[in-house]
Structure 1
C-alpha cells in the first residue's frame, strides 16, 4: 500500500485510517493492527512536526509476515530521542516506535529521508491487502 500524504491537511488521521483499512482487508490480528496504526501515527506526526510534512507512506508485508511501515519526508535532520519533560507535551513518539517495533531506522536519500519501522506478527495475505516485499502494487 502506498499513500501520498503531501497534500493532506490531516496526514496523521489519513495515514491511520489507510493502514487500519489495509490491515483489516488482509485479516491482520487486531493487536498487530493496533501496534501498526500507533507506530504509523507517530512516524507521520514526527514528519509533520519536525521535517516539513510527510510525503509517501508505504506499508509492506515482509516475507516473514512482519509489517514494514515507511514514511518519507524532505527534512534534512535525522530523528532522535527527546527525553519527555513534565512541562512540555510530546517526546514519547520515538519511544513508542522503539517499544512496538522489532527494529526501526532511517534511510537518507536525495531530497530527504525515509523513516521506517518493522512490526512483528504473523500476517496472512488476503485479497487486496498490503503487498508482500517485491510484489509492488
Structure 2
C-alpha cells in the first residue's frame, strides 16, 4: 500500500512528506499527482512545472536502475523553496550526481544526440538550483534537487 505521511515543524514552518512508490512503471505518474497536491496545499504553485519534470526524472531513474520500491521525499525549506529527493536500493550514484558542480567542475555534456537515453539526470542538474546524491550505509542512495527563489545573499551548496 502506498502511504503519504506529513510532518510539520512548529519552529521553522517547514514541512516534509514521504511517499513509498512501488517498483512499477506507473510510479512517476503517481509521484507527479502527489507532488501537485502537496505543492497546491502549501502554496508552491510557482515551482509546479519544474518540480514535476524533476520528480519524473528522479523517480524514473529509480525505477529503471533499481529492482525495489523507492521513496519520494518532499520538503518545504521555507521562503518558497522545495527539496525533492528519491531514495532507491541501487548503491551506485550515477553521473552527473557523482560530482559537485562548480566553476572548476561544470556539468558534463549529456549523451550524444543519437543516444537512446541518459538525459534525465542532466535535465535535473540543468533545471534545479542545487542537486546532489548520497549513499546509505546498508545500500541504496538518495538523489535530490532544490527549486525556488533563494533569499538575498544566500548561496545553496550542492
TM-score by length of 2: 0.68
| Equivalent in 77, 90, 99 of residue 126 of structure 2 | 99
CA deviation vs aligned residue, 1:39-77 (integer Å, no higher than 9, x gap) = 000100111112335511010001343101010000021
Aligned to 2:4: none
Aligned to 2:39: 23
Q: Contact 1:51–1:77 at 8 Å: present in 2 too?
A: no
- Counterpart mapping for 1:20-59 below 5 A: 20-30=36-46, 32-59=47-74
CA RMSD of aligned residues (A): 2.0
Aligned to 1:78: 93
Shift of the alpha carbon at 1:102?
A: 1.1
**Structure showing greater relative contact order (alpha-carbon pairs closer than 8 Å, 6 or more residues apart):** 1
Which consecutive unaligned segments of at least 5 residues does structure 2 have?
1-16, 97-108, 151-158
1:89 and 2:100 are equivalent in the alignment:
no
Q: Contact 1:54–1:71 at 8 Å: present in 2 too?
A: no
TM-score by length of 1: 0.78
Larger helix fraction of residues:
1
The number of residue pairs the alignment matches comes to 121
Shift of the alpha carbon at 1:27?
A: 2.2
Which consecutive unaligned segments of at least 5 residues does structure 1 have?
123-137
